[in-house]
Amino acid sequence: MRKGQSEVIGLMVIVLILIFMGVLYLGFANLAGNDTLASQRVGIETENALNAVLRVNLENYDDKTIQDLIVECGGGFDCNQLENALKEVYTAVLKPGTTFSYWVLMEDEEIYATSTCQIGIVSSYVFVRDGIFYEAKLRLCKT
């Protein structure tokens, strides 16, 4: 074998090793990307579920919105209407097998909380009513 032929074979071995390493890298990078994509989907789902539900007029509650029920709850009224409305709406909106936690802050003080899950993606929505800041938070968890 000549010297030139051995150099070409050595170069081919190096190229094959680099190609093999590249394929391994792409395989592992793709696996990590799936988790990130799923996490982003759940984040978008959480954000949409929170924003949409806050603005819907509820027939069973005198056409009040969830925001109206939050303000009533923070104003010293009973929070049972808010709790029942949240359960009713999110049972209809969320996919089967999805649990949620919901809590509301008024001027950074918690006025309402319900928790059926501990680990998940959280979304929050801030609104002002009569000069008072309210923050509604939703956590979705897959079971």
Per-residue pLDDT tens for 7-44?
888 889 899 999 989 888 877 776 655 566 777 887 88
d(CA 82, CA 56): 13
pLDDT lower than 70: segments of the chain: 1, 30-36, 143
User: What contacts 98, CB < 8 A, 6 or more positions away?
Assistant: 140, 141, 142, 143
Cβ–Cβ < 8 Å for 136, 54: yes
- Predicted confidence at residue 119, as pLDDT, reads 85
- CA 44 to each of CA 8, 38, 112: distance values in angstroms, whole numbers, following the listed order: 53, 10, 24
**Strand 98-106 relative to strand 132-142, pairing:** antiparallel
- Predicted confidence at residue 141, as pLDDT, reads 85
- Predicted confidence at residue 6, as pLDDT, reads 80
Q: What are the CB-based long-range contacts (under 8 Å, 24+) for 112-121?
A: 112/70, 112/73, 112/79, 112/82, 112/83, 114/83, 114/86, 116/141, 117/141, 117/143, 120/42, 120/46, 121/39, 121/42, 121/43, 121/46
- Predicted confidence at residue 136, as pLDDT, reads 94
- Predicted confidence at residue 17, as pLDDT, reads 92
